[in-house]
Structure 1
């Protein structure tokens, strides 16, 4: 049984008497201890998907249809009390900005202890010991000292380590990390990613990493899901997607990485921009930016097909596979 199973998920936003689709028919699974990445530009629906997994979509957004099953329990059907039982305890979330997560008027220790005692019936002393142990586990020097400090007294990297420690307090089965290194410099980013990777490996924790950077994803995730305009457009093993991207959008994301250009050259970029929810084009949503788009792309939504070990929603790939099949058939005849 999959630890997490998302099936045909649709999330809408009710705006000015119209329904805007933020997620369309999204499906994927996550096994215990597996590390997957959700990749795409801003507006692709990555964070909406992350919030949906823990049913934290606030009005005017709502889950319109589909299911999100944690083992055999559907999160979309849970009441608030049931959700409080799994949030933090079974599924924990790391948000983009640690200063938005940490309370500036409470010490680090008070916040960690409060998290523990809100889910368990243990003494303050025992909760303090657990919190200090977790601070030590995320490689924070002098954890007893940091326990009594306020968030503003810590560096950005240190605050992000505190956030990681906080999600480990209750030994969750799944960690959702939403752009966890966005506000950090490159050196600290690498340290945080290596820390996350080590924690997941050592504790058998499944990871959902939300990122716009395939370079970051390649260091952490075993499997990658590429999203565009609320839909999944490609999914497969991370190494396959990095080395042999199938969808033109995935190819564009890879070509836009800084290491894909020589020093002094202009960075590659995908022409155009992500459409807004209210202006999603017909057919394949990527067709206005795609150099290979045909009339069929403008009119029809492609279905998923397997290309090697990856699945992709693209008519170009479908046509190429059909052509190869015809050639093989002629050779065999």
Structure 2
């Protein structure tokens, strides 16, 4: 049985112009210790999906349909008290900017002890021992000294390590990391991602990594979900998606990587932009930007087609697979 099972999830936002759907028919599984990447441009719905798992969607947003099963409980219907017992305890979240996550007027130690005492009946000394141990796990030098320091006294990379240590405090089953290396330089990004993978493997913690960087996904995850305009358009083993992307959008993301461009020439890019939620095109949402779009793409929403070990929502892939099956039957 999967550790986390999301079934037909939909998230809606009530606006003056009417209700719009930020997520549509999202379904996937996550096993214990498995690392999953959520990929797509800004506005694809990646962060909304991460927030919805922990029921952090603020009004006027709401989970309008679907189920989020974790350890026999549907998190979508859980009471405020019930979700608080899971949030930060069994499922932790790492946000983009550690300075927005950490309280600037409390020491690192105060914040870590407060987190532990919110979920466990534990003394200050016992909580401090656990906190210092977690700081050591993320390779913070002089952890006893850092325990008494304020966030502004630490570098960006150090603050992000502390946020990871806080996420690990209560030995969670799942960590959701929302663009955890965005504010860091390239060398520190690599160190933080290596650290997260090492910690997840060592503690058998599942990871949901939200990012727009396929390069990071290729190195850190085992499965990948590609999102576009609030829908999943391709999902499967990371290696298969990276080496043989099937959906035209995923292919465009791969071609946009800097290493795919010819030196001295402009970087490749996908023409156009992600449509706003109020004006998502009929049929396949990607069809106005797709070089292979045909009439069916403009009329009908594509269903998932299996390609190897991947699932792809594309009319062109479905037609190609059907032709291959016809040839094999001849």
Query: TM-score, normalised to structure 1's length?
Result: 0.98
Alignment check: 8 A CA contact 1:91 1:172 kept? yes
**1:328 Cα deviation (Å)?**
1.7
**1:325 Cα deviation (Å)?**
1.4
Give 1:224's aligned residue. 224
CA displacement 1:51-78 (0-9 Å, x = unmatched): 0000110001000000000021100111
Alignment check: 8 A CA contact 1:37 1:217 kept? yes
Whole-angstrom CA distance in 2 between matches of 1:217 and 1:143: 30
Give 2:179's aligned residue. 179
Whole-angstrom CA distance in 2 between matches of 1:274 and 1:216: 22
Alignment check: 8 A CA contact 1:5 1:71 kept? no
What runs of 5+ residues in structure 2 fail to find an aligned partner?
Answer: none
**1:263 Cα deviation (Å)?**
2.4
Give 2:2's aligned residue. 2
Alignment check: 8 A CA contact 1:89 1:172 kept? yes
CA displacement 1:222-271 (0-9 Å, x = unmatched): 00000000000000100000000000000000000011113222110000
Alignment check: 8 A CA contact 1:5 1:30 kept? yes
Whole-angstrom CA distance in 1 between matches of 2:298 and 2:197: 41
Which 4+ runs in 1 deviate beyond 4 A?
none
Residue 74 of structure 1 pairs with residue 74 of structure 2: yes
**1:17 Cα deviation (Å)?**
4.5
SS at match of 1:133: helix
Residue 61 of structure 1 pairs with residue 61 of structure 2: yes
Whole-angstrom CA distance in 2 between matches of 1:16 and 1:154: 43
Give 2:85's aligned residue. 85
SS at match of 1:297: helix
1:110-129 alignment, distance < 5 Å:
110-129=110-129
Backbone CA RMSD of aligned residues: 0.7
Whole-angstrom CA distance in 2 between matches of 1:220 and 1:46: 17
Whole-angstrom CA distance in 2 between matches of 1:329 and 1:172: 50
Whole-angstrom CA distance in 2 between matches of 1:256 and 1:82: 43
Give 2:292's aligned residue. 292
CA displacement 1:111-167 (0-9 Å, x = unmatched): 011100111111101101111110110001011111111111111100000000001
Give 2:40's aligned residue. 40
Alignment check: 8 A CA contact 1:305 1:318 kept? yes
Number of residue pairs aligned between Structure 1 and Structure 2: 330
Whole-angstrom CA distance in 2 between matches of 1:221 and 1:140: 24
Give 2:144's aligned residue. 144
Give 2:273's aligned residue. 273
Query: TM-score, normalised to structure 2's length?
Result: 0.99
Give 1:311's aligned residue. 311
Give 2:51's aligned residue. 51
